[in-house]
A and B are shown apart, each in its own frame.
Chain A
Amino acid sequence: MKKGLLLMVIAVVALGASVAPPAHAVVCTVDNVPAATLLLPYFEVDLANPNGADTTFTINNASATAVLAHVTLWTDLGVPTQTFDIYLTGYDVEKVDLRLLFAAGVTPRTASAGQDPAEKISPHGPVSQDINFASCNGRLPLPPLTAAEVAHIRAAHTGAASPTFGGNCSGLAVGDNIARGYVTIDSVNACNPFLPDDPLYVPYITFQNVFFGNFEYVNRTLTTTYAGALVGVEASFSNPEVSVPGQYTFYGRYNNYTATDRREPLATQWQTRILSNAAFGQNTDLIVWRDPGVASTPFACGGNPSWYPLPLENLVLFDEQEFPVVPAPATSNLFAAAAQRIPASSLGSPYASGYVRATLSLPAGTGSVNPPEDVRARQSYVFAVTSSNGKYGIGLNGFALDTACAVLSHDANQPIVNPFMGTVFPGDGSTNVPVSQKVNFSFSEKVTITPTAFKIECPTGSNIPFTSNPAGSGPSFSFQLTPTPSLPANTACKATGFASQITGTSHVGANPPADIVTNFTTAP
């Protein structure tokens, strides 16, 4: 008995030594370290096809201390629908298969010492703490979701009306029977039924930077799988960036930006590659999570939350020769939801491959009043998945170019294509240009033109007739002019695109800053 007591004391001392968070918290950067909140930025579960899209994730406890994880499901429009608690002994890991949850209401079975005295549910190892959370009596181990709860999450996450929400909707109705949304996992000090947007949740949230985890998108029908690390959102009780009211914090929208959550925000500006090559069947999809900046609540079906669609500040695509393209006005509906998977091909780029650089804060003039620190700032997360011929999936984090703790000044330090730009081939000063050469004007956005927008002269003052592809006024990213007949040999030629007769469609009504001119000499 005494020996047992001694061992217990040793164990407690040993655990005490390990109770401190296992990693140092560096707030205001998105790094893969243990954190107080994990974000699964997007999930999808095919409700019709068990071999279709599925999402799984794991929650790991990096510390010896037993902890509670509060899991919340959110729709793709940011409405919380369901929450449950997971108890983790020290160094524990729990895997959650969202298909099982959505299809049959299967919840992860865990229980703290008080609900599991025989350790049949949550066993623990000799260096893992196992304690009692009395608040979990009657709540853990979790029962399966009721039929009504399953019906609720299936409806809510497919954009249908839910009786739980009084017949209102809470997500996008895409019509493909795929449940979509995102998940947050918070460290809490007691089992509780509250959603993170509920003021009653505030006393429960803790600042233990102990969670890490991974997620996987698996589609057995398409033979693809993509994986990434859950986004670790660290908490700090002392760092002014996350503890002073008015600062932008991860859950700021639910606590009136009083920073009571103490959690770092993510970033606002991202860059990631796009690989779309038809020859190899390559396609990139962008997984994008965004903060609407306000709490979302259910809405009358057929309508939308007040903030939807969420505009963006700036989006530029580059081809692999660094020519920028602004595919659409900043106020367009690209990445309009809180969580989405968007095929890169739908961004409107004329190029198969390159990269996208997106600033997912708000454009000027939206009337936003929060967060007080920077009313236009909106945190986000970007993850790119690429497959070839529907197989061999690769998942890559986007590159964060700033932090929402200190957003780089809006409209600066990013590629501004305003007014838009044009280029012409053959380039200025070219020599020995074939007489059959076509003249190509390209623009950084789709433009419309007047019938006299372009002119070819060989030599200067002598107009050369041409046909245009596309014919007419556009809109188009480029116009290819074919001289008819061919250009004269050994002649100094000049081609001009007249700025005043070329009008942008992304920067609506704007013209290029200057005429686009090239002087070249044809071959003998």
Chain B
Amino acid sequence: MRKIARGLLVVMIGVLFAPSAHAVIGTLDTVPAATLLVPYFEVDTVNANGINTLFSVQNASATAVLAHVTIWTDLSAPVTNFNIYLTGYDMQTIDLGNLIRNGVLPQTASAGQDPGDLVSPKGPLSQDINFASCSGQLPPAPFLPSFVTQVKSLLTGGPDSVNQCGGRALGDGIARGYLTIDTVNNCTQRFPGDVGYFGAGGTGDATNQNVLMGDFFYVNPTLNLVQGATAVHIEASATNPETSVAGQYTFYGRYVNFLASDNREPLAGTWTTQYTDAKTDLIVWRDAKVNQNRFACPAIPGARPSWYPLGREQVALFDMQEEPAVYPAPAPGDPTPPVNLIPFPAAAGRVKVGIGASFGLQALAKEGLLYLNLNTTVAPAGANPPEDPAASQSYVLSIRFPEATNGPDVLSTAVTASALDSSTQTSHIFLPLP
């Protein structure tokens, strides 16, 4: 009798093995994807009630999958990675604060490491299989204290054990960076930049299963602030020419010599969003277009890493009467330009928008529209991506504080900026501004 029930279940799961959504390449839609990008995170490494970031990973399909999480610094150097096993329809929420401060990793395990289903239980519609490669890795042990120290140091711009750095040292004890989460076929310990991680058609560690969904939250208990947004969903296709022909711009192109073997769609290069003086923060992720590893300490704009800071084609601001202004660029050759003339220098960051020199992006009016053409050439990247060396993918999220910005009850929201192009076909729109 039980065999019959199991048989029925297998048939039902079999029906569900197909990817759960159609892949539309070349636009940023919130659909199940092969890679998720959490474009920026912040974790207070000192104060557990300070700023924190949580994110979730969900499996949209009945098929069990492995998700490979990579933590990157704000200058795009990989710091560490780990795997999450998801049964069909599973979800995991990860507290980055607990991970970075205490080294606590999400506890999951595939059938071989969890025969009693005590770690990763599953529902009757969910596949639960064994990934033999995960034996000895899942469920993961916490990071060793020495490694926790190193992770915290790297994400706050400090050195690792061999005195190499990975990020900016802003001196506030806040760990910063971004996350990528890829579907993989084994419990790999490789980074996306390592040989073998990608192979055309999903033949490397990474697969092309468009099944992941996710979101993230910025939480600050001290300031009574929470904002949430969906992660950036990056679909894969091994057949679409935009993501399978060598020379095309793909999301991980910088790690595969722009051969498109990652098969993942790129993001956009030009964005528009509203701003309000002192009530808008921009979360901006950018592609350095080079395979960046750790570098001699410290990070210095114009010196190291070689691509830092990133330029832009045009940043413009409109006021509410559509009076435009091009955001000024640093004077050529100026060795120490004002910081806010290069508002988005890093691979990931938060920039406050407002009137006055103290803001990372100086507004010219109380309210208006931002036009962010963040395409740029990057000298160390050479003529890459071959499709369009001036193209540079990015992502922009706007955090808003529509009411008071102080007091015990601060209202805040997060809204994705509107994409004006796709890096599959970069527009290079220059506004004809005076």
CB-CB under 8 A from A415, the residues of chain B are 16, 62, 89, 125
Q: Mark A69-111, 1 if CB is under 8 A from B, else 0.
A: 0000000000000000000011111000000000000000000
A399 & B230 in contact (Cβ 8 Å cutoff): yes
Instruction: Report chain B residues within 8 Å CB of A322.
Output: 87-90, 121-123, 125-126
CB of A397 closer than 8 Å to a CB of B: yes
* CB contact between A216 and one of B20, B90, B413, B431 (< 8 Å): that residue: B413
- Tell yes or no: A47 within 8 A of B by CB: no
* A332 smallest CB distance to B (angstroms): 21
With an 8 A cutoff between CB atoms, is A515 at the interface?
yes
- Interface status of A45 (Cβ within 8 A of chain B): no
Q: How many chain B residues touch A (Cβ–Cβ < 8 Å)?
A: 82
Which residue from A23, A392, A413 sits with its C-beta under 8 Å from B224? A392
CB distance B432 to A23 under 8 Å?
Answer: no
Say if the beta carbon of B213 comes within 8 Å of chain A: yes
Q: Which one of B42-50, B104-112, B179-187, B315-323 is at the interface?
A: B315-323
| CB 8 Å contact bits of A50-82 with B (1 = contact, 0 = none) | 000000001010101000000000000000000
Q: Quick check: is A423 within 8 A (CB to CB) of the other chain?
A: yes
Q: Do A32 and B416 have beta carbons less than 8 Å apart?
A: yes
Say whether A513 faces chain B, with CB atoms less than 8 Å apart. yes
Instruction: Return the chain B residue nearest A28 by Cβ.
Output: B24
Q: Convert B5-31 into 0s and 1s, putting 1 for each residue whose CB lies closer than 8 angstroms to a CB of A.
A: 100100010011010111010111111
Asked if B422 is at the interface of the complex by the 8 Å CB criterion, the answer is yes
Judge if B409 is at the interface, Cβ distance under 8 Å.
yes
CB of B272 closer than 8 Å to a CB of A: yes
The answer on a CB contact under 8 Å between A323 and B124 is: yes
Residues of B306-363 at the interface with A, using a CB-CB cut-off of 8 Å, are 318-324
Q: Are A23 and B215 in contact (CB under 8 A)?
A: no
- Say whether, besides A125-B323, A391-B224, A396 and B418 are in contact (CB < 8 Å): no
B413 contacts A225, C-beta separation under 8 Å: yes
The closest CB in chain A to the CB of B24 belongs to A29
With a cutoff of 8 Å between Cβ atoms, the chain A residues found around residue B116 in the complex are: 427
Chain A residues contacting B402 (CB-CB under 8 Å) are 216, 218, 225, 227
Chain A residue nearest in CB terms to B115 = A429
B123 near A34 with CB under 8 A, answer no
Question: Roughly how many angstroms separate A429 CA and B4 CA in the complex, as a whole number?
Answer: 18
Query: How many A-B contacts at CB < 8 Å in the complex?
Result: 224
Residue of B nearest to A401 (CB): B21
Contact for B21 among A90, A393, A400, A421, CB less than 8 A? A400
Q: Are A399 and B224 in contact (CB under 8 A)?
A: no
Chain B residue nearest to A228 in the complex (CB): B415
Within 8 A of B (CB), among A406-445: 406, 408, 412-417, 421, 423, 427-428, 444
Q: A227-B400, A399-B60, A514-B5 are in contact. Are A22 and B420 (CB under 8 A)?
A: yes
Answer whether residue B425 sits at the interface, using C-beta atoms and an 8 A cutoff: yes
6 nearest CB pairs, A to B: A227-B413, A322-B123, A125-B322, A394-B228, A14-B432, A514-B5
Q: List the interface of chain A (C-beta within 8 A of B).
A: 14, 17-18, 22-24, 26, 28-34, 58, 60, 62, 64, 89-93, 123-128, 212, 214, 216, 218, 220, 223-229, 232, 271, 273, 318-324, 355, 386, 388, 391-403, 406, 408, 412-417, 421, 423, 427-428, 444, 513-515, 517
Show 23 residue pairs from A and B whose CB-CB distance is below 8 angstroms, ordered by the A residue.
A18-B431, A23-B419, A24-B422, A26-B24, A26-B27, A31-B419, A32-B419, A33-B420, A124-B322, A125-B319, A125-B322, A126-B434, A128-B322, A212-B418, A223-B411, A273-B56, A322-B87, A322-B121, A394-B228, A399-B60, A401-B32, A513-B4, A517-B2
Sample of 12 further A-B pairs with CB below 8 A, known A29-B27, A392-B226: A30-B30, A32-B417, A89-B322, A93-B368, A126-B434, A128-B322, A216-B402, A226-B413, A227-B413, A395-B413, A412-B15, A513-B5
